[in-house]
């Protein structure tokens, strides 16, 4: 639902702005409608917040087109940051980790955040080989990331899946 136009403006008096942008002051709505009709334009309510609504004499079709164009331009210029995910095992070999890290660097280079999650299937194995395996792995990953990214958050210690989120460096 857009702004009220022409006969949908119910206020008895309105503050009128001309098609050239000049403030014409407060007048009866019927008089403002007549002025807009004389120019072959519409009377569009811009603001209804005050005691007297503010209206402008303009081409409503052109106004709607320009609004749509501005919104489209804003969407085009908007940068969406995606969350990419990379899974690793707690006792990953060096070469495998390097391959995973290439992917992490690629995602960070594109401006995306990266969630590095550790598969702790059969957590008894992880416990048997050392409780510090996952924190050590995360430390190693952050060391490899260096100044390309920053640690944004870590998973809680009691969560089943351990993960860290790395944001791209500014």
State the first-to-last Cα distance of the chain, in angstroms, to the nearest integer: 40
CATH number of 6-76: 3.10.20.80
CATH 3.30.110.10 in the chain, residue ranges:
83-168
Q: Which two tokens stand for residue 50?
A: 């005050």
Q: Which two tokens stand for residue 136?
A: 């050590």
Residue 5 vs residues 33, 57, 111: alpha-carbon distances, Å? 10, 10, 44
CATH 3.10.20.80 in the chain, residue ranges:
6-76
Give yes or no for a contact between 120 and 162, defined as CB atoms under 8 angstroms apart: yes
More confident residue, 62 or 160: 62
Prediction pTM value: 0.53
CATH number of 83-168: 3.30.110.10
More confident residue, 165 or 127: 165
CB-based contacts of 76: which residues, under 8 Å, 6+ apart?
A: none
More confident residue, 1 or 92: 92
Rounded distance between C-alpha atoms, residue 3 and residue 48, angstroms:
9
């Amino acid at each position: 639902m857009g702004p009220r136009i022409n006969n949908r403006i119910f206020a008895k008096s309105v503050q009128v702005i001309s098609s050239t942008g000049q403030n014409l002051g407060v007048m009866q709505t019927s008089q403002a409608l007549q002025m807009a009709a004389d120019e072959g334009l519409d009377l569009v309510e811009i603001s209804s917040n005050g005691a007297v609504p503010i209206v402008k004499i303009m081409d409503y079709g052109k106004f709607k087109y320009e609004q749509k164009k501005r919104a489209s331009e804003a969407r085009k210029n908007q940068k969406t940051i995606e969350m990419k995910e990379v899974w690793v095992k707690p006792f990953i070999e060096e070469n495998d980790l390097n391959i995973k890290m290439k992917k992490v660097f690629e995602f960070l280079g594109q401006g995306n955040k990266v969630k590095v999650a550790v598969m702790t299937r059969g957590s008894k194995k992880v416990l048997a080989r050392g409780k510090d395996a996952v924190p050590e792995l995360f430390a190693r990953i952050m060391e490899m990331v260096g100044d390309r990214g920053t640690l944004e958050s870590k998973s809680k210690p009691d969560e089943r899946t351990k993960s860290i989120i790395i944001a791209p460096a500014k």
